[in-house]
Amino acid sequence: MLIYLIIRFFLFFFRFLPFGVLRLLSDIVYYVLFYIIRYRRKVIEDNLVSCFPNLRGIEKINIIKKTYQNISDIFIEGIKGLLLSKEEIFTRNTFINSNLVNDYLNKGQSVICVCGHYNNWEWTVLGIGYYFQNKVIGIYKKISNPYVENYIRKLRAKSSMLLLPTSETRKMIEEIPNGKLILLMADQNPSNVNDAIWVKFFNKETACLHGLEKYARAYNLPVIYMEMQRIKRSYYTLEFSMLVENPSSCSFGEITQKFMSQLEKTIIKDPSNWLWSHKRWKHSRKIH
């Protein structure tokens, strides 16, 4: 309960802060993370050098610094985003090629929209929920504290998105015939590596979640890729493009590989905007 009350107070405080002050707070968080705490510095540096072996000197340091700035912006903007109105979200998020999604939804055809933890994914959830009113389903991992879980879920769901924990995916399946956009962030490490789909990502064997592959192939749901780019601080574009039009014709693992290959291209545009602080390659593939 104490943690819940602290979060409520923290969010109440954030409600009244303008974005100019929030950017200053983000700069302070960046300074603390980079210079004082050195938050996961070795993980970030090892991941970057592993994926970009030619990265050296000043260029490497600049990307690492920008990575910390991205983390700080996401943290501060993520909190503020829970309190933003629909109009404010639309002011700060520009949707590109959204007709690709609407063409399916208007015909009652469900689709999967897949993206990675690139730029401000928290605003992705809110923006898509508001933009495709009452048409979006989001799958998420529950917060262990029940008070915090209920409160944060209520704030996220205000955008009209149906939020389902991973334990309730059956409800998602029941909604597929009704023409829904199923939002998946599919670049995380799987908790159970035995269910992982292995693909090449930055030329490394990489374990991936199996949900994208499972649902797209089983229900022949077109897969649309969503790329988020930062125009300037606290302003983004969200662009949709076709990834797989007919999943049932794909071989096992092909859809996941297409997604991770496309995400890799997005990351190469600006490496600092991906979440390099997680141990993405901690699993090794066992060859039997």
Q: What is the mean pLDDT of residues 219-247?
A: 97
**How many helical (H) and strand (E) elements, i.e. helices and strands, does the chain have?**
11, 9
Q: How many residues in the chain?
A: 288
What pLDDT shows up at residue 147?
60
Residue with the larger pLDDT of the pair 8 and 121: 121
Q: What is the mean pLDDT of residues 33-40?
A: 96
Confidence of residue 2 (pLDDT cuts 50, 70, 90): low
With b meaning 16 or more CB within 10 Å and e meaning fewer, what string describes 148-187?
A: beebbeeebeebebbbbeeeebeebeeebeeebbbbbbbb
pTM of the predicted structure, to 2 decimals: 0.92
Please check whether residue 72 is in contact with residue 23, taking contact to mean a CB–CB distance below 8 angstroms.
Answer: no
Rg (CA), the chain: 19
Domain boundaries, the chain: 2-273
Confidence of residue 283 (pLDDT cuts 50, 70, 90): confident
- In tens, the pLDDT along 115-158 reads 999 999 889 888 999 999 999 998 877 666 676 667 667 767 67
Question: What percentage of the chain carries pLDDT values higher than 90?
Answer: 72
Please name the residues in contact with 76: beta carbons below 8 A apart, sequence gap of 6 or more. Answer: 22, 23, 25, 26, 29
In this model, does residue 82 exceed pLDDT 90?
Answer: no
What pLDDT shows up at residue 191?
84
Which residues share a beta bridge with 198? 207
Residue 78 exposed, middle or buried by CB count within 10 Å (0-12, 13-18, 19+): middle
Cα–Cα distance for residue pair 226/194, rounded to 1 Å? 28
Least confident of 3-12, 111-120, 189-198: 3-12
Mean pLDDT, the chain, integer:
90
Query: Could you write out the DSSP letters of every residue in 103-140?
Result: HHHTTT--EEEEE-SBS-HHHHHHHHHHHTTT-EEEEE
Tokens of 208: 């991936």
